[in-house]
Amino acid sequence: MSSQPKVRLRGLFKIFGSDGLAALEYVKQGLGKEDLLAQYQHVLGLQNIDVDMQAGEITVVMGLSGSGKSTLIRHLNRLIDPTAGEILIDGEDVMKLNEDELRVMRQTRMSMVFQKFALLPHRTVVQNAAMALKVRGESEAVQNAEAMKWLDRVGLQGYENHYPAQLSGGMQQRVGIARALTANTDIMLMDEAFSALDPLIRTDMQDLLLELQQELNKTIVFITHDLDEALKLADHLVILKDGAVVQQGEPQGILLNPNDPYIEDFVSDINRARVLKVRSVMGKVKKGAKYAGDVQMSDNLESMIALSNGETNKIYRVLDGDKVVGQLDMLDLVRALVPRVSGSKG
Amino acid sequence: MAFYDGLFEKLGLREWCGTGKSDAPLSMSDLLNQSSGADAANSGPVFPFPSLDNLNESCANLSQTRDVTKGIEDGFLAAKPALKTVLDPITQPLSWLLDSALYTFSAVPWFIMIPILLAISWFSSKSKGVTAFVAISILLLAFVDHYDVAMQTLSIIFVCTGISVLLGVPVGIAMSKSDRLERAVVPVLDLLQTLPTFVYLIPLIFLFSVTESKLYGVAIILYAIVPVIRLTNLGIRLVDKDVIEAANAFGMSSKQKLIGVQLPLALPNIMAGINQTIMMSLAMVVIASLVSAPGLGVNVLRGIRNLELGVGIVAGIGIVLLAVILDRVSKAALSRVDMTHKTH
């Protein structure tokens, strides 16, 4: 983890309405989203967002519709301007950029993938993929070579001269991803990139993204409303509700220790055995324990249950590669499968 | 005694109004009434509407309605020299364009002109059926000796449509960029579209001499430019917001956005606007024959004036043929533009 976060949001507020700054004062005095709308006809988009996004990590922002997640991602490249707060990218305040600098920033430092693909219908697949380079004014040859390289990489060889409308949704989004990759930026913004795809293709695309990420190590900001997707992709998970961050941190930690009934609701429906990893429930190595076998700390609990044949009296040694890092008591594993229920829910 | 005498009495305006009411007949109906011996006030309705004319009967100092129309006319005539000095140089190129187009279309012999027209329709429509239809129609017109007038009409439409597109598309683009401009221009477009076509001609006759071809050129352009402006504006505004957002997210400048995204995606709408513009200039070129526009319209006018039924009907059919030709060719071109957008 680098010392300086790649993207840093500090005290970000966004209020939609005619006089956002005035409404901001009320919000800072504690007025809620619904009261603000009822009394002042302003919509509270984001309130007091503090998020650090580390270089080379996938930061997933999750929340239900209307929670402000799409608004949040559009602040990073200033498609939406905040009412108050700072947006720092590599330590540089994006709010201080003038129009031209902002354009250069969007061209060279960030690329974006959209929920509805947003491809240019009158351009071919390869022209779409080369869009960022064309905007920057690269030569035709460079545009084509780069675009073809990334189209191959996302599995679209042979489709370069098709038009987007001739492709299926999954393939169109591959073009969208190729377009973002061709831009060759450190930061990739993905706004519900896989939400419009059917479940099987979505899984394919998630695997593709993880595979690319291993190789490319980009800073990815991923927006989703799907917790399974969030848990699969996230290095850092940010959960939004009504425009405020409810909880953020390592996804396994959030799953095991939700700090809000809202998040408990969220996590109650998912398949914990598949999502939770051995490393999240393992304990310290105790002397004298008898191990039934060795497992990797990145294995999920589902595979552990299969391995132990459902017996709860076994203890496994946990390895990270070849190094011993802990031990896993199957009893702990079973306990972790039951969602923690807070008192507030009754 | 007029009906409103009492009113002015009560208001104490008798003096201001002046007492001496002239007995001279003020209008044709007055004259008729006088000559038939009836008193205007008695034969009128029991409670006449307090219109200018009715009030004037009680108060001679109030103006009559005909003074209003006279005032408008005087005002227009007073402004005319100033308007002329501004408009004349601006519109002069239109006259040259129209005259040279008319000259070119009639100077080029038919055996060259017809293949050129067929080539144009082939390249814009890429459809054998449409091209064959154009060929048959033109040959038919030529066969009944309407080739020359049809070419005159066609040349006027070419020039006026061309100028309408040249002016209309930029105006439409500007409107799509600015809500304020849109709010200002839309009422003007509404006015241009609803004003009866003959009404355009009246002020234009005063402004320009009937011998100048820009007179009907301006009338046609004013009428025909509306749809291309409207549909350019609409087309650009209808471009998918997501695509525009993507263009912004990748840092396109507004010029790159306009040329690379908005105009290509608005093209089907713009083409539909051009199709409408062509049809409307054809409609207007017939009416403009009243103010010396040459072409098929002249024959229609002759049919009406001299009750030459056959002449009028043949010219009418010629206009219909031209309309169908222009419509089919531009529609075929439009659908080709659409095709490249949504290839399946």
Q: B285 lies in a domain?
A: yes
Same domain flag for B15 and B86: no
Q: Do A79 and B248 touch (CB under 8 A)?
A: yes
Domain count within chain B: 2
pLDDT the model gives residue B142: 93
Give me the sheet containing A84-89, strands edge to edge.
Answer: A43-53, A7-16, A84-89, A92-93
Please tell me whether residues B119 and B240 are part of one structural domain. Answer: yes
Assign A327 to helix, strand or coil: strand
Domain assignment of residue B134, yes or no: yes
Determine whether the interchain pair A121/B265 forms a contact, defined as Cβ–Cβ distance below 8 Å: yes
Q: Is residue B297 part of a domain?
A: yes
Taking an 8 Å cut-off on Cβ atoms, the answer to whether B249 and A135 are in contact is no
Q: What residues contact residue A125 under an 8 Å CB cut-off, 6+ apart?
A: A151, A156, A159, A160, A161, A162, A163, A164, A167, A175
Domain of B50?
A: 5-63
Task: Please check the confidence at residue A24 and state whether its pLDDT lies above 80.
Answer: yes
**Predicted pLDDT at B35:** 67
Instruction: Please tell me the predicted confidence (pLDDT) of residue B7.
Output: 82
Asked whether residue B24 falls in the same domain as residue B103, the answer is no
Q: pLDDT band for position B155 (50/70/90)?
A: very high
Cα dihedral A261, A267, A273, A279, rounded to 10, equals -70
pLDDT in tens, A54-109: 999 999 999 888 888 899 999 998 999 999 999 999 988 988 999 999 999 999 99
Instruction: Pick from B250, B255, B263 the residue to mutate for testing the A interface (most A CBs within 10 Å).
Output: B250
Give the single-character DSSP code of B258: I
3-state secondary structure of A130: coil
Write down which residue in B13, B34, B63 finishes a domain.
B63
* Residue B154 maps to a domain: yes
* Sequence-distant (≥ 6) Cβ neighbours of residue A223 within 8 angstroms: A60, A61, A62, A69, A70, A72, A73, A190, A191, A192, A193
Confidence band for B1, pLDDT divided at 50, 70 and 90: low
Chain A partners within 8 Å of B252 (Cβ): 103, 135
The alpha carbon of residue A234 is apart from the nearest alpha carbon of chain B, in Å, by 23
Mean pLDDT confidence for B37-47:
58
Which residues does chain A have within 8 Å of residue B261's beta carbon, measured at their own beta carbons? 120
Cβ neighbours of A196 (radius 10 Å) = 16
Q: Is the pLDDT of residue B194 over 70?
A: yes
What pLDDT does residue A293 have?
Answer: 84
| Reported confidence tier of residue A119, pLDDT bands at 50, 70, 90 | very high
Rounded (5°) CA angle B266-A71-A53: 120
* Interface contact flag, B250 A118, Cβ < 8 Å: no
Cβ contact A165–B342 (<8 Å): yes
* Statement to judge: residues B59 and B84 lie in one domain: no
Condensed to tens digits (0 to 9), the pLDDT of residues B216-243 reads 999 999 999 999 999 999 999 999 999 9
Please give the pLDDT value at position B37. 57
In this predicted structure, the answer to whether residue B94 has a pLDDT above a threshold of 80 is yes
Q: How many Cα atoms occupy the beta-carbon half-sphere of A268 within 13 Å?
A: 10
Contact of B192 with B135, CB cutoff 8 Å: no
Q: Give me the mean pLDDT over the B320-339 stretch.
A: 85
d(CA A296, CA A46): 40
Please check whether residues B174 and B319 belong to one and the same domain: yes
Please tell me which residue, A4 or A111, carries the higher pLDDT value.
A111
The pLDDT score that the predictor gives to residue A274 is: 81
Is B69 a member of any domain?
no
Quick one: which of A320, A332, A327 has its CA closest to A290? A327
Strand stretches in chain A, DSSP E: 7-16, 43-53, 58-62, 84-89, 92-93, 110-113, 187-191, 219-224, 236-241, 244-249, 294-296, 315-320, 323-329
For chain A, which residues lie within 8 Å of any Cβ of chain B, measuring from their own Cβ? 77, 79, 102-108, 110-112, 114, 116-122, 131-132, 134-136, 163, 165-166, 179, 183, 189
Instruction: Look up residue A329 and give its two tokens.
Output: 């008591």
A17 confidence band (pLDDT: 50, 70, 90): confident
**Residue range B238-291, pLDDT digits in tens:** 999 999 999 999 999 999 999 999 999 999 999 999 999 999 999 998 899 988
Report the residue from B243, B250, B340 with minimal CB separation from A135: B250
pLDDT at B34: 65
Summary mean pLDDT of chain B: 87
Residue A344 pLDDT greater than 50, yes or no: no
In this predicted structure, what is the pLDDT of residue A340? 66
**CA-angle at A306, arms to A300 and A310, nearest 5°:** 115
DSSP state, A238? E
Per-residue pLDDT at A332 exceeds 90 = no
Cβ pair A122:B265 closer than 8 A: yes
Q: How far apart are CA A60 and CA A66, in angstroms?
A: 16
**How far, in Å, CA of A327 to CA of A281, rounded?**
9
**From CA B239, how far away is CA B233, in angstroms rounded?**
10
Q: Give pLDDT, residue B199.
A: 84
The answer to whether the CB of A106 falls within 8 A of the CB of A119 is: no
Q: How far is A296 from chain B (nearest CA, A)?
A: 41
Q: How far is it, in rounded angstroms, from Cα A294 to Cα A297?
A: 10
Which residue, among A100, A131, A173, A177, would best test binding to B if mutated, counting the most B CBs under 10 Å from its CB?
A: A131
Look at A136-140, B168-172, B334-338 and tell me which has the smallest mean pLDDT. B334-338
A chain contacts of residue B343, beta-carbon cutoff 8 Å: 163, 165-166
Residue A111 burial class via C-beta count within 10 angstroms: exposed 0-12, middle 13-18, buried 19 and up: buried
Residue B179 class from Cβ within 10 Å (0-12 exposed, 13-18 middle, 19+ buried)?
exposed
Are B210 and B325 within one domain?
yes
Check A77 against B249: CB less than 8 A apart.
yes
Tokens 């709308």 belong to which residue?
A37
**First vs last Cα of chain A: how many Å apart?**
40
Q: Is residue B116 part of a domain?
A: yes
Q: Which amino acid is at B182?
A: E
Model pLDDT, residue B344:
44
Q: Residue type at A74?
A: R
Are B260 and B154 in a shared domain?
yes
Q: Which of A291, A331, A338 is nearest to A311 (CA)?
A: A331
In a domain, B68, yes or no: no
Q: Between the ranges A94-108, A329-343, B30-44, where is the mean pLDDT highest?
A: A94-108
Q: Is the pLDDT of residue B342 over 70?
A: no
Average pLDDT score over residue span B140-155: 93
Comparing alpha-carbon positions, the chain B residue that sits nearest to A161 is B343
Q: Give A279 to chain B, closest Cα distance, Å.
A: 39
Question: Higher confidence at residue B336 or residue A120?
Answer: A120
B320 in the same domain as B202 = yes
The pLDDT of residue A263: 85
Q: How far is A163 from chain B (nearest CA, A)?
A: 7
**What pLDDT is stored for residue B9 in this prediction?**
80
| pLDDT for A303 | 86
> Is B71 contained in some domain?
no
Tens of pLDDT, residues A218-260: 999 999 998 888 888 999 999 998 888 999 998 888 888 888 8
Smallest Cα distance from B262 to chain A, Å: 10
Instruction: Evaluate whether B277 touches B168 at the Cβ level (below 8 Å).
Output: yes
Query: CA-nearest residue of chain A to B340?
Result: A122
Q: What is the CATH number of the domain that holds B84?
A: 1.10.3720.10
The CA radius of gyration of chain B, in Å to the nearest whole number, is: 28
Beta carbons within 10 angstroms of residue B124's beta carbon: 16
Check A165 against B264: CB less than 8 A apart: no
Residues B10 and B97 in one domain: no
Subunit contact B249:A165, Cβ cutoff 8 A: no
Residue A77 φ/ψ, nearest 5 degrees: -105, 15
Query: Is B251–A105 a contact, with Cβ atoms under 8 angstroms apart?
Result: yes
Whether the predicted pLDDT of A2 surpasses 50: no
Interatomic CA distance for residues B132 and B118, integer angstroms = 8
B240: chain A residues, CB-CB within 8 Å: 118
Residue A190 has a pLDDT of 93
B247 plus B100 within the same structural domain:
yes
Q: How many residues does chain B have?
A: 344
CB A339 within 8 A of CB A268: yes
B100-125 average pLDDT score: 92
Averaged over B101-126, what is the pLDDT? 92
Please indicate, yes or no, whether residues B11 and B135 belong to a single structural domain of this protein.
no
The average pLDDT across B59-84 equals 87
Percent of chain B residues past pLDDT 90, beyond the cut: 58
Same domain? B104 vs B52 = no
**In which band, very low, low, confident or very high, does the pLDDT at A346 lie, cut at 50, 70 and 90?**
very low
pLDDT of A7 strictly over 80: yes
What is the Cα–Cα distance from B41 to B29, expressed in whole angstroms?
Answer: 12
